Structure 1
Amino acid sequence: MENISAYQVELSCSKAGRHNYIFIAVPIIYSTIFIIGVFGNSLVVIVIYCYIKMKTVASIFLMNLAIADLCFVMTLPLWAAYTAMHYNWPFGTFLCKLSAAAITLNLYTSVFLLTCLSIDRYIAIVHPMVSRVRRTIMVGKIICISIWIIACLASLPAFIYRTVVPLKENITVCAFYYPTNSSQTFLTGMNITKNVLGFFFPFLIILTSYTLIGRTLKATFHGHRGRTRNDDIFKMIVAIVLVFFFCWLPHQIFTLLDILIQLEIIKNCQFEDIVDTGMPITICIAYFNSCLNPFLYGFFGKNFRKHFLQLLKNIPPKFTTHASLNTKMSMLSYRPSDHHSASVKNSSHLSEHEEQHIANT
């Protein structure tokens, strides 16, 4: 790979995927995703860190999910400029490798975190007794650290094999370069891994988890007055599964087609043009999931919306905590003249608080 700059690489289908509307539309979409993604995920990080304080396993997963999306969307301006300049990469080899690795890192961290979040919701709702023992803060942190390590290892091939490659059209692209057949076979295996480990297995787990959650909720709330709330929960579950599926499925299909082209099973410039033209579009759809995650997993939550409004009103977290503390103190000092009655009522309030705490975990 040291001799890449000594010659220019010639592509078999040099015009594949090079259309003016791609060079205009894709940078606009990337820029939009960048703005919405930075805004939405930054709010999630601020609200969870300042108000919610990562006191639950779900909040830890959401925090890491927002950080992963933030790390990724920060590289989108580079890819927007790259596409706008007709796939000409002027930012050097290191940023080429780093930006490519960030894509793979975000793919695996997001998918694994969404999968763990669905499993966490399943345990909390379907097996509440087991959840008290297994759903601890320490377990959540260990799982997140493990996910980041696995995702970093999975993104190493992108960092190693992505490099700046000069083409005969006097442009320089940021692309995978593998001078030997063994390297190409390795990268083909990595793409297959992305299909299987990065989409199909996680989606199967997510779909199974939320299906079992839906059945449990349906049985629990059947015939009760909480039917409206039950319907809202079902809508939320359906939205989570469908958004994940439809955002990533097109990209995974085109990745599979790209594998067939790399293996030279498909040798047709017209078909390669379709794949190379559709790939940026499917990438835009997949990246849009980074914008939707804050809305689906954060803004739809009642507790998150409350803290989000506090943030907009510039109410400090400590002030909110003191206010709630004063409320509790006023409840505990109720009817101080009757000491015996007060002690009974205080123990009753404590019991209710414990029950509420158990219900919220």
Structure 2
Amino acid sequence: MLNATTTTTSNAPEGIHLTCGMSGSHPLIFTIVPVVYGFNFVIGMVGNSMVVAVIYRYMKLKTVANVFVLNLAISDLTFLITLPMWAIFTATGYYWPFGSFLCKASAGLVIFNLYTSIFFLTALSIDRYLAIVHPVRSRRYRTAAYARISCLLVWLFAFVVSVPTALTRDVHNIDSETTVCGTLHMKDAVRQKNLLLAIGLMKSLLGFLVPFLIIITCYCLIGRALLSGRNIQKSARSREDEVLRMLAAAVLAFFLCWAPHQVFHFLQVLNQLRVLVDCSILEIIDTAMPFTICIAYFNSCVNPIVYGFVGHNFRRNLLRLLCCARRGLPGNHPSISSKMSALSYRASEALSLTTKSKTSSTNGK
């Protein structure tokens, strides 16, 4: 998404004039980024669809972890449907042909996915803490019903905090040369500047720092409990180990994917505070931002890979799903296969009878 960070307004009808020019406009970006978006879209749609299918068909929604993982996959799918539009937007040199509504909706879904992903990972971390450190006392609260209620609250809260981002995005004409979908920070719009600053700080705090402090705290408490070995049943530990490893891998993947983008996003916040105003620095930020966004978007297709490599139970059920799908193909349908076998058997029997009759007639002669 484009962020034209330093702008001046113009009352002329031809559009808005940029004091620092069209930052981050490089042919390399327009070539590589759309390809990465396309890769993320294909891998993410296939992988997360498999996660939904495996959990719904085999693993069911009887455990808290499965409920949260299913909602995390659905969150990624809702975001991934916007990637083709962002790929076209970047490939055409930041030209947005889809109108104002899709500009607002797509930008809102990007931030919506950020919040839902980190909130669901935080909820999973709290659940692992309760399951391992307080397995008995937390049993009455760690139910699928409570997990569904928690997911509903996460969806609602993430929607509320992502609405301001959608409202501040719109289609703008830049110097009558191109039409972009972005946020333009205007010097004479103090109220808009404060709103954008609040949105930026909220993205850094609620979308990254605060949840990670909660997650790290949960893991520290889990590690201390596992090292001491007190109040933890061995059977409970063996049941929860795989889920804990899978969650740890998912949290690490989220951090590695989103940390670079959050760093440059914080630099953009400093620009909004007028701490950074040099056009050369803004050029670096706007050039690096598309690549950090590519890395961040990769998180939506990395979770199914994490589940497949770390989760033995998920991998086993995924193989069951693939085997069932293979048997369901027209060439592998059980009834068709049985009919073909029967026909082959009858043909061989007829051939053997013909051969015997020819042999007997020859002997008779």
Q: Into which bin does the TM-score normalised by the smaller protein fall?
A: 0.7 to 0.9
Where 1:173 maps in the other structure, the secondary structure is strand
Tell me if 1:195 matches 2:204. yes
Corresponding pairs, count:
311
* Pairing 1:127-276 to 2, within 5 Å after superposition: 127-168=134-175, 170-177=177-184, 180-220=189-229, 236=246, 239-276=249-286
How far apart are the structure 2 equivalents of 1:125 and 1:198?
26
Contact 2:15/2:175 (8 A) holds in 1: yes
Say whether residues 1:302 and 2:312 are aligned partners. yes
CA apart distance, 1:236 = 5.0
Q: Match of 2:94?
A: 87
The 8 Å contact of residues 242 and 311 in structure 2, kept in 1 or not, is answered as: no
TM-superposed CA distance for 1:159, in Å, is 1.8
Unaligned runs of 5+ in 2: 1-9, 327-365
2:17 maps to amino acid = E
Larger radius of gyration: 2
Distance 1:296 1:173 in 2: 36
SS of structure 2 residue aligned to 1:14: coil
Q: Distance in 1 between matches of 2:215 and 2:11?
A: 43
SS in 1 for 2:97: coil
Q: Which runs of 5+ in 1 are unaligned?
A: 317-361
Percent identical among aligned pairs is 48
What CA distance in whole angstroms lies between the structure 1 residues aligned with 2:25 and 2:119? 34
When structure 1 is superposed on structure 2, of 6-15 and 134-143 the one drifting more is: 6-15
**Alignment check: 8 A CA contact 1:210 1:237 kept:** no
- Check 1:237–1:47 CA distance in 2 against 1; reply closer, same or farther (3 A cut): closer
Which residue identity is paired with 1:263?
A: L
1:160-219 CA distances to partner (integer Å, 9 max, x unpaired)? 111100001510000124662101111111110110111001111112212322333344
Q: Residue 244 of structure 1: CA displacement?
A: 2.3
Over aligned residue pairs, what C-alpha RMSD do you find? 2.7
Residue in 1 aligned with 2:122? Answer: 115
With normalisation by structure 2, the TM-score equals: 0.79
The answer on 1:283 being equivalent to 2:293 is yes
**1:66-85, aligned counterparts within 5 Å?**
66-85=73-92
Q: How big is the shift at 1:114?
A: 0.5
Instruction: Say which SS state the counterpart of residue 164 (structure 1) adopts.
Output: strand
Identify if the C-alpha distance between structure 1 residues 299 and 74 changes in structure 2 by more than 3 Å, giving closer, same or farther: farther
Shift, 1:299, TM fit: 5.2
- Which amino acid is 1:16 matched to? S
